């Protein structure tokens, strides 16, 4: 017998109960015939086949477990098992309604494509693979390994990420390999590795239920991590003090005891003021600081110039409020910090994270349930892809490529010499491609033609490559630029492991066959590797996972057999039989000294400030209904019907000042580009700012964003640039893969 949660009231119930004793919900309607996880069982109600608890939702970092109802080769329904972490039966609108349609969409790539005379034509797999590998090999042998680069995917499995980076490092001979973590939490990871020795979260998201104070800053969980947001709302309902800090008033602010709507770009001012207040009021946990940290004196000296009274005019939060929330955070029995892209996607993103780490360390709010640091991961496997080595300066498990011991370890494991020079990051690769230094690229499951900052520059750079290989499930904006396109598998069509934001390694099992001639990503990578001269013989993910265990201490204790039995295991799990550690840093930090380090931060302004020509601030982000660049969710009729058109949100007074009404076409322009889209009135958007989701090709927000980088994390400043907004402009067009319904038609 196990314990599950009632789907209605979340009361803990025995797995054999027929009704919830709290609310009376009939539980048998939600339960399937008992069977091994990952096996096809029959639903009691309709007798159709159900793949039970065997898949990970392909969207955000929560990594919800899902049940797929399968008939023949098709998924016709998505549910969630009520006894499976991390979601316990919960799903957001994307997870419940945004899967089956994109998986079976008519736009799925089913045949390899080679571009001849500017047009794609169908090819056999042997032709496409020979052409793809031949171009990459020619550039490598002619211009050297540094002329090649690869972008892996945070939507693929751990095994795919591991083999991809291994291919680039051993087949290309370079460390020029990166993925979308560079565009989301690179600065957070840089600060965490520097401060506490680990880039992963210290506690799981649902630990907010054990916290007395929860501090959420620069994140919009109700949109970006909806299921995780339910834990936060539940915590607030149970009496947890919820502090939400963000330039935009989001839905979660309704549940907060304190909402801090600080001025954009003033994160460090607010956080340093809190640090000052804690020191000033004698609330530092001296015992913890003395026994488990270093460099506190430097932080103390730096904080002298950042009193709440001095910073209040800068960040826009009253000094008394800053002191109140600082006091609340420092004196609680358990305080937990969660943050998102609003912290990381700045030129001072690393400094923002350094301040959050300092708040946690100086108050001793780490190493216990209901405390700690949690950067909310954006994509479903961004944690696992990073762990697996899809980072230009890190081997798997965050072992630096310029560390001789790490280099020797992987040379021995992989049987080849490795380059000790750190590779280029995402934006640096694009700049090098534009300059002609990068001549060939292999991109798997990423869409930089939509996701990179200043995408006009990125598109021009990719269009100028001598050879571009793209592996994906759709002909994305990036794939249109490719010389060869390799049709890959969607998540229900393959086996593999995924690691969610909670450090939970989850086994996902194949449910259906891929369409047409589409092949599993693992097979494609292996076949390309063979053609590049590598003697690879991997046939299944379990073989790759076994090799990963040899190079990654964090998962060394997790066997494939254990995953088949238990479905998921939390790392670190260094020895077989270890239960895994949901809470880390209990007794020490994984640094050379065992101590965490304080790193002070000073005020650094955004790279581009508003002026008389561009007087407003652009903030980009996601929507609840659409995911990332829209390639999957905009091919879902349900989601497209809810949000069919690109919009820009402005404060009502700013909209009135433009002489525009909600629904009017407006034009937003930066120094890099302009887009026209429909206006949306939003009281939560601050005066002088405009918020634009980046999922819409016909009004791509990243045509506007600034590619300037944080010097430590090498992450672009997506969350701040100067723009001007005017009424009017050309109506957004139809991208071709959604319904393309206009607001004018909807409301006429």
- Give the DSSP letter string of 595-644: -EE---------SS---SSS-EEEEEE--SS--TTSTTGGG-HHHHHHS-
Q: Is 43's pLDDT higher than 60? A: no
Q: What percent of the chain has pLDDT over 70?
A: 91
Assigned token pair, 395: 């081997």
Distance CA 688, CA 615 (A): 7
The residue to which tokens 């008033």 are assigned = 249
Element at 716 (helix H, strand E): strand 716-717
Distance CA 440, CA 136 (A): 6
pLDDT, position 16: 45
DSSP state letters, 222-287: HHHSHHHHHHHHHHHHTT-EEEEE-SS--GGGGG-SEEE-PPTT-HHHHHHHHHHHHHHTT---HH
CA 363 to chain centroid:
28
> Strand, coil or helix: what is 451?
helix
Q: To the nearest whole number, what is the mean pLDDT of the chain? A: 92
How do strand 372-375 and strand 40-42 relate by DSSP bridges?
A: unpaired
pLDDT, position 77: 87
∠ CA 637-94-674, nearest 5°, is 75
Tell me the average pLDDT across 238-245.
Answer: 97
pLDDT, position 32: 34
Region of residue 563 (left: phi > 0; alpha: psi -120 to 50; beta: else): alpha
pLDDT, position 180: 87
Helices and strands (H, E) in the chain, number of each type? 25, 33
Strand boundaries in 23-162, DSSP class E: 40-42, 49-56, 65-71, 74-79, 113-116, 119-122, 148-151
The residue to which tokens 């506490």 are assigned = 196
Tell me the average pLDDT across 692-697.
Answer: 94
Confidence of residue 47 (pLDDT cuts 50, 70, 90): very low
pLDDT, position 461: 97
pLDDT, position 1: 37
Q: Is 40's pLDDT higher than 70? A: no
Exposed/middle/buried for residue 515 (C-beta within 10 Å: 0-12, 13-18, 19+)? buried
Residues 299-332 have pLDDT tens digits of: 999 999 999 999 999 999 999 999 999 999 999 9
Q: What percent of the chain has pLDDT over 90?
A: 84
pLDDT, position 72: 77
pLDDT, position 742: 42
Distance CA 10, CA 231 (A): 11
pTM for the complete prediction? 0.91
Residues 508-563 have pLDDT tens digits of: 999 999 999 999 999 999 999 999 999 999 999 999 999 999 999 999 999 999 99
pLDDT, position 83: 82
Q: Is 745's pLDDT higher than 50? A: no
Distance CA 374, CA 366 (A): 11
Confidence of residue 22 (pLDDT cuts 50, 70, 90): low
Tell me the average pLDDT across 214-242.
Answer: 96
Phi, psi of 444 (to 5 degrees): -115, 110
The residues, ordered by sequence, that sit 6+ positions from 313 with a Cβ below 8 Å of its Cβ are none
The residue to which tokens 């099992």 are assigned = 509
Distance CA 667, CA 713 (A): 32
Q: Using the CB atoms, write b or e for 364-403: b if 16+ within 10 Å.
A: bbbbbbbbbbbbbbbbbbbbbbbbbbbbbbbbbbbbbbee
> Strand, coil or helix: what is 313?
helix
Confidence of residue 90 (pLDDT cuts 50, 70, 90): very high
pLDDT, position 24: 62
């Amino acid at each position: 017998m196990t314990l599950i949660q009632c789907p209605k009231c979340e009361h803990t119930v025995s797995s054999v109960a027929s009704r919830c004793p709290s609310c009376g919900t009939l539980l048998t309607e939600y339960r399937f015939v008992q069977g091994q996880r990952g096996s096809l069982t029959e639903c009691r109600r309709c007798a159709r086949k159900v793949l039970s608890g065997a898949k990970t939702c392909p969207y955000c970092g929560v990594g919800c477990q899902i049940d797929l109802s399968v008939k023949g080769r098709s998924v016709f329904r998505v549910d969630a098992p009520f006894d499976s972490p991390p979601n316990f039966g919960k799903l957001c609108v994307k997870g419940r309604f945004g899967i089956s349609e994109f998986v079976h969409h008519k736009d799925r790539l089913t045949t390899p494509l080679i571009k001849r005379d500017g047009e794609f034509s169908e090819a056999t797999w042997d032709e496409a693979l020979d052409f793809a590998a031949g171009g990459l090999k020619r550039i490598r042998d002619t211009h050297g390994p540094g002329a090649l680069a690869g972008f892996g995917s945070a939507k693929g499995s751990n095994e795919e990420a591991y083999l991809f980076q291994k291919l680039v490092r051993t087949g290309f001979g370079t460390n020029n390999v990166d993925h979308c973590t560079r565009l989301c939490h690179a600065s957070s990871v840089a600060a965490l590795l520097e401060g506490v020795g680990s880039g992963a979260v210290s506690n799981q998201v649902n630990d907010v239920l054990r916290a007395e104070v929860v501090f959420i800053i620069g994140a919009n969980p109700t949109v970006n991590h909806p299921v995780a947001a339910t834990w936060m709302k539940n915590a607030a309902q149970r009496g947890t003090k919820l502090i939400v800090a963000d330039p935009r008033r989001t839905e979660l602010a309704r549940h907060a005891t304190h909402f801090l709507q600080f001025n954009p770009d003033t994160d460090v001012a607010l956080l340093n003021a809190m640090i000052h207040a804690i020191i000033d009021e004698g609330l530092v946990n001296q015992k913890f600081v003395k026994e488990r940290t270093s460099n506190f004196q430097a932080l103390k000296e730096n904080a002298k110039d950042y009193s709440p009274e001095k910073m209040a005019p800068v960040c826009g939060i009253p000094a008394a409020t800053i002191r109140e929330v600082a006091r609340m955070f420092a004196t609680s029995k358990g305080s937990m910090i969660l943050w998102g892209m609003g912290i990381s996607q700045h030129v001072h993103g690393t400094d923002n994270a350094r301040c959050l780490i300092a708040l946690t360390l100086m108050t001793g709010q780490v190493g216990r349930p209901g405390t700690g640091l949690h950067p909310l991961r954006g994509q479903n496997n961004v944690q696992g892809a990073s762990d697996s080595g899809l980072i230009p300066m890190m081997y798997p498990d965050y072992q630096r490529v310029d560390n001789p011991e790490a280099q020797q370890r992987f040379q021995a494991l992989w049987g080849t010499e490795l380059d000790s020079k750190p590779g280029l990051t995402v934006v640096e690769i694009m700049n090098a491609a534009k300059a002609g230094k990068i001549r060939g690229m292999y991109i798997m499951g990423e869409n930089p033609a939509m996701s990179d900052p200043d995408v006009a520059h990125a598109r021009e750079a990719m269009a100028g490559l001598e050879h571009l290989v793209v592996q994906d499930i759709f002909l994305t904006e990036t794939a249109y630029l490719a010389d060869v396109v390799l049709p890959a598998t969607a998540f229900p069509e393959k086996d593999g492991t995924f690691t969610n934001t909670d450090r939970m390694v989850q086994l996902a099992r194949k449910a259906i066959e891929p369409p047409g001639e589409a092949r599993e990503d693992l097979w494609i990578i292996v076949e390309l590797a063979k053609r590049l001269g590598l003697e690879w013989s991997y046939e299944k993910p379990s073989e790759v996972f076994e090799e990963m265990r040899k190079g990654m201490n964090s998962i060394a204790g997790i066997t494939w057999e254990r995953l088949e039995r238990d479905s998921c295991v939390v790392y670190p799990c260094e020895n077989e039989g270890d239960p895994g550690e949901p809470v880390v840093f209990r007794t020490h930090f994984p640094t050379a000294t065992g101590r965490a380090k304080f790193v002070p931060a000073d005020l650094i302004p955004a790279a581009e400030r508003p002026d008389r020509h561009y007087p407003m601030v652009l903030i980009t982000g996601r929507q609840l209904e659409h995911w990332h660049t829209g390639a999957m969710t905009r091919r879902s009729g349900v989601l497209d019907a809810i949000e069919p058109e690109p919009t820009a949100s402005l404060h009502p007074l700013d909209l009135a000042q433009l002489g525009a009404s909600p629904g009017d076409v407006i034009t937003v322009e930066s120094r890099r580009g302009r887009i026209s889209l429909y206006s949306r009135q939003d009281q939560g958007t601050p005066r002088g700012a405009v918020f634009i989701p980046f999922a819409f090709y016909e009004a791509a927000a990243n045509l506007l964003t600034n590619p300037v980088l944080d010097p430590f994390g090498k992450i672009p400043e997506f969350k701040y640039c100067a723009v001007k907004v005017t009424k009017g402009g050309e109506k957004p067009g139809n991208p071709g893969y959604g319904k393309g319904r206009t607001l004018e038609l909807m409301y006429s």
